[in-house]
Structure 1
Amino acid sequence: MFKKGLLLGSTALLLAACGTADESTDGASNEVTEETTEETVTIKVASHLPPMTDVLEIAGDVIEDGYEIELVEVSDNIQYNEALLNEEVDANFAQHEPFMEVFNQERDGNLVALQPIYNAVVGFYSPVYDSVEDIEDGAEVAVPSDPTNEARALVTLEEHELITLDPEVNKTEASVDDVSENPYNLTFTNIDLLNLTAAYEDGVELVFNYPTYIAAVDLTPEDAVILQADEENMFAQTLVAREDNQDSDAIQALVDAMASQEVYDFLDGLAENGHLRPAFELGE
């Protein structure tokens, strides 16, 4: 079963962060995040945009008897991790593992990546250039301001030989300071991930983006100047829980539903449009 919860507001999260969470009663969730009606356990999962929310809806339709998934909608890329850390939700589905790891480092968090679900096809879009061959010396490049997506953007540029990164740097931690060769003299501007589409509209020559966000201006990966390969799924969108509840029956039921045949078929259909590709094999 699937249902939608209330939007989590920043004020509510700040208040929750100042309070004391109840102790877990069964290892799956606590009094704040578990609702039991007629022996049905509600698993609260924070997310925010399609196709992530679509995946959760499908998972809610196929999850085993005795459980239901409640989508807790958030409005930015901060709330879903804060909500999970503060035990307001049981899991989230809105990020890749490197992004989660940075959050854990910054917040002394205990979040764990459980199951990669799909890999969004990301790349650079341009209101000026039609192909990589058209890129001119000194072009302005908009990359995300958060460290892991900044790294992903730079790795994509390196794949297409537009820059070279310091070979000693971890590819998931690279920043513009790690660019060792810049033959096109690209100039970099760090912009919040959710504002990159506006940068495209403002005429920035090269703009990194995800299909979900660039769709706001009626663009798809087919319109991108360059796309990232990421064949190892380093940046796959992943189901995330906490160390204290990751082995609970409820979370294991959630994992099974998220990596189900029905979800795979849905993602495989989207893959035909070039937007993403499934990041799990059935029966894993």
Structure 2
Amino acid sequence: MSSRLSAPLIAAATSAVLLLTSCGAGSTDSAAEGDQVIRVASHMPPMTDVVELASEAAAEDGWDVELVRVNDNVQYNRLLVDGEVDASFAQHEPYMERFNEENDADLTAIAPIYDAKVGFYSRDYDDVADIPDGAKVALPNDISNEGRALAILDEQGLITLREGVGFEGRLSDVEQNPHDFEWVQVDLLNLASAYEEDDVALVYNYPTYISKVGLTPEDALFLEETVDQRFSISLVARAEDEESEKIQALHEAMTGEEVRDFLAEEHSATLLPAF
């Protein structure tokens, strides 16, 4: 049984509004020439925090990292494909691969940076055993995150997926739904709003998005137990630039001890360093 939760979409005009912030302190002459400037698209903390922190390390080697802020989960890849930025930091590899397939793009994951603690939240229930049969369960409507959400439900014994699909599962792969859950498919950015809907019992979400309603993974009804690093939030670039000096410098800066310590010390409740 499936339904779709109505939620306001972000207007395309709003999505295209960018805030360009210079993070680095590179040479003025080099920045003017453009050869020492590395532009990185991202959209919200802690991803933007990581870029800003990495910029400090990159500046020591003469690179000027510029953070390009976007408003949704599309623009950072559009900018990268169009050559407006050099890299993005906002997605996991399966999401990137789906974007490549749907847009005939050639983006590549350069390095995993952190694993978000994802899981399911409930406003009305403190124990999964109390969730009634026929309850609505909100899932992300993009394929890569849908598969991850279903795998967690399978892991918890709430559904049974077709053997072997793992994190690649779709709703059509649900072989057993003993609680007769009703699936509500929602854009990832709107899942936090679904949590506040009166008739939604379970909502899948990331720490970054669920924080909008004042929650952390500690508030989750259950979290993902088996972590697959394909879902690490990763530094992404165009495949043709993978070995370029800019991307190698950015890779080094974003996988430095400063970033690792920041993730481990400031965000241990929501994520795990992946490098």
Q: TM-score range by the shorter chain?
A: 0.7 to 0.9
Structure 1 residue 40: Cα displacement: 6.3
Q: 1:159-178 CA deviation, whole Å, 9 max, x = no partner?
A: 11111111142x34311111
Structure 1 residue 133: Cα displacement: 2.2
Task: Please show how residues 50-129 of structure 1 align to structure 2 within 5 Å.
Answer: 50-63=45-58, 64-129=60-125
Pick from 31, 36, 60 the counterpart of residue 36 of structure 1: 31
Identity of matched residues, %: 52
Structure 1 residue 128: Cα displacement: 1.2
Compared CA separation, residues 13 and 84, structure 1 to 2 (3 A): farther
Counterpart of 2:186 in structure 1 is 191
2:272 & 2:239 partners in 1: Cα distance?
Answer: 28
**Amino acid paired to 1:254:** L
1:172 & 1:96 partners in 2: Cα distance?
Answer: 13
Q: 1:133-189 CA deviation, whole Å, 9 max, x = no partner?
A: 2222111100001111111111111111111111142x3431111101111111101
Counterpart of 1:138 in structure 2 is 134
Structure 1 residue 12: Cα displacement: 10
Q: 1:214-235 CA deviation, whole Å, 9 max, x = no partner?
A: 1111111111101012433221
Bigger shift: residues 132-141 or 144-153: 132-141
**Amino acid paired to 1:86:** D
1:265 & 1:243 partners in 2: Cα distance?
Answer: 29
1:251 counterpart = 2:247: yes
- 4+ runs of 1 displaced by more than 4 Å? 9-14
1:160 & 1:12 partners in 2: Cα distance?
Answer: 39
2:62 & 2:126 partners in 1: Cα distance?
Answer: 52
**Amino acid paired to 2:140:** P
Q: 1:80-104 CA deviation, whole Å, 9 max, x = no partner?
A: 1111111111000000000000000
The number of residues matched between the two structures is 250
RMSD, aligned CA: 1.9
Considering fraction of residues, name the structure with more helix.
2
CA contact (8 A) 1:42 1:70 kept: yes
Counterpart of 1:264 in structure 2 is 260
Compared CA separation, residues 38 and 86, structure 1 to 2 (3 A): closer
